[in-house]
Amino acid sequence: MRTLISNGTIVTAEGSQEADVLIDGETIVQIGRGLANAGIAADETIDASGRYVIPGGIDVHTHMELPFGGTFAKDTFETGTRAAAFGGTTTVVDFAVQSRGKSLREGLDAWHAKAEGNAVADYGFHMIMSDVNDDTLAEMDQLVAEGIPDFKLFTAYPGVFYSDDGAIFRAMQQTAKNGGLIMMHAENGMAIDVVAADEVAAGRTDPYYHGVARYPIFEGEATNRVIRLAEGAGVPVYIVHLSAREALAEVRAARDRGAKTFAETCPQYLFLSLDDMKNGFDGAKFVCSPPLRPADHQAELWTGLVKDDLQLVSTDHCPFDFHGQKELGRGDFRKIPNGLPGVEDRVDLLHDGGVIGGRITRERWVEIVSTAPARLFGMYPRKGAVAVGSDADLVVYDPNATRTISAKTHHMDVDYSCYEGRQVRGRSDIVLSRGSVIVRDGEFTGRKGHGQFIKRAAADFARMS
């Protein structure tokens, strides 16, 4: 099957050009002006006039079916990757979980079983490590060889995913040998638990106090600590879901002194704030960790994206229904499952707030939502590029269309939207995954099982700054 995308404006991280794209099978085979008029034969021609042609979005932080707080994140690999596709994201990297006392292998096998035959678009895995011991350290090397080169550890969630400094340092030492990457959830979970217990004891049990108890300085402290541990081990480190200016200041300082420190933020920290958590128990819809911050943090996060102290935006997609799941925490915010839905809205929110909002160029937008994730997570140039030889993961994007975000129309399997009623400019009209059209004008045209596991290489951090 040959598909020609004609008359569009190709937008990549490097620049923009008017050119046509020829796809043969799953791969981009030719890019040039006027291919449509040059007698190139194609089975289908997609007219992209007035629209952008961009590399498919890559969301490197999702949690399909994550077990958390006595329940599970609702989206499966089928519903989650379908929702992602509607929003212009054609690859997700999800977190497989090693449960305490079990092997990494058991966790990884479980995640392969969840995804294989179900995903509608491509996927990879990172590995959450709950135990660091001789066995799991040895297993890390094997996972790197199998295309799972990143490992998430936590200074948060004592008793669940928490690792102490020695465990984190040992895991970092292991990546010094095997070329993997440690991803850190950096909040001081021990201190947070003290404050959270004080709040509940004082009768402050509403969701809002989840946000109050997790001080920004606790994120700043843990961010500094894990960066310093990584410097001690001589390895790069990646900070996930950075939310607070205090944490950004630590990342910026580290990068200024030449440390290989990388970080992502998420749409919820750019567009939502602690005030959203104020509305009685309705605030539970916004409970995630790190929490939403006072609105004045947002401008600094945008500056971080402009200056590349933050390299990319992922969603931390981890949806729990308000009814029946978030409600587990009525009367005690500590029991509300942590996480927000978002995989469908990231590309449009960043286009609307970033490009239309005049904060970033359209090229930087593409870099933040696709190219930088591909580079940092070992998929470039197979993914994240519009280039000959790359996978034909492409989005025909209308930068002028408007849509209103709502739970009534979204495709994520969750009963509310954090952005209910927000109008955004920009929409993914046609979405291709490895050459197949999987979304066309609001209709799903793909198939369950089309998505493939992407074996990723360890990124070449020596060449990255």
Name the residues that contact ligand URP, by CB under 6 A: 63, 185, 241, 288-289, 316, 318, 338-339
Q: Give the chain's radius of gyration (CA, Å).
A: 21
Please report, as ranges, the residues that interact with Zn ion according to CB under 5 A.
185, 316
**Within a 10 A sphere around the Cβ of 63, how many other Cβ atoms?**
24
* Nearest to ligand URP of 320, 380 (CB atom): 320
Q: Which does 210 bind (CB under 5 to 8 A by kind): Zn ion, ligand URP, none?
A: none
Shortest distance (Å) from residue 31 CB to Zn ion = 36
Q: 158 — phi, psi (to 5°)? A: -55, 140
Using the Cα atoms of residue 180, residue 118, residue 344 and residue 106 in order, give the sign of their dihedral.
negative
Residue found by looking up tokens 């108890």 in the block: 213
35's tokens = 């291919």
448's tokens = 């369950």
242's tokens = 């950075």
Nearest to 394 by CA among 384, 402, 403: 384
Distance CA 2, CA 321 (A): 42
Nearest to 426 by CA among 405, 406, 400: 400
* Nearest to ligand URP of 151, 365 (CB atom): 151
Q: Percentages helix, strand, coil for the chain, rounded to the nearest 5? A: 35, 25, 40
Shortest distance (Å) from residue 11 CB to Zn ion = 28
Q: Whose CB is nearest to Zn ion?
A: 185
* Nearest to Zn ion of 94, 122 (CB atom): 94
Q: Where are the beta strands (DSSP E) in 181-339?
A: 181-185, 237-239, 261-265, 312-313
Shortest distance (Å) from residue 342 CB to ligand URP = 11
Distance CA 97, CA 114 (A): 12
* Nearest to ligand URP of 309, 316 (CB atom): 316
Q: Which does 288 bind (CB under 5 to 8 A by kind): Zn ion, ligand URP, none?
A: ligand URP
Q: Which does 338 bind (CB under 5 to 8 A by kind): Zn ion, ligand URP, none?
A: ligand URP
Distance CA 184, CA 441 (A): 38
Q: 56: helix, coil or strand?
A: coil
Q: Would you put residue 319 in left (φ > 0), alpha (ψ -120 to 50) or beta?
A: beta
Shortest distance (Å) from residue 233 CB to Zn ion = 21
Q: Which does 355 bind (CB under 5 to 8 A by kind): ligand URP, Zn ion, none?
A: none
Shortest distance (Å) from residue 185 CB to ligand URP = 5
* Nearest to ligand URP of 339, 373 (CB atom): 339
* Nearest to Zn ion of 199, 316 (CB atom): 316
* Nearest to ligand URP of 338, 433 (CB atom): 338
Distance CA 34, CA 19 (A): 7
Q: Which does 339 bind (CB under 5 to 8 A by kind): Zn ion, ligand URP, none?
A: ligand URP
67-68/71-72 β-pairing: antiparallel
Q: Whose CB is nearest to ligand URP?
A: 338
* Nearest to Zn ion of 185, 214 (CB atom): 185
* Nearest to ligand URP of 119, 288 (CB atom): 288
237-239/261-265 β-pairing: parallel
Shortest distance (Å) from residue 85 CB to ligand URP = 22
278's tokens = 């104020």
Shortest distance (Å) from residue 426 CB to ligand URP = 26
Q: Which does 375 bind (CB under 5 to 8 A by kind): Zn ion, ligand URP, none?
A: none
Shortest distance (Å) from residue 289 CB to ligand URP = 4
Shortest distance (Å) from residue 73 CB to ligand URP = 8
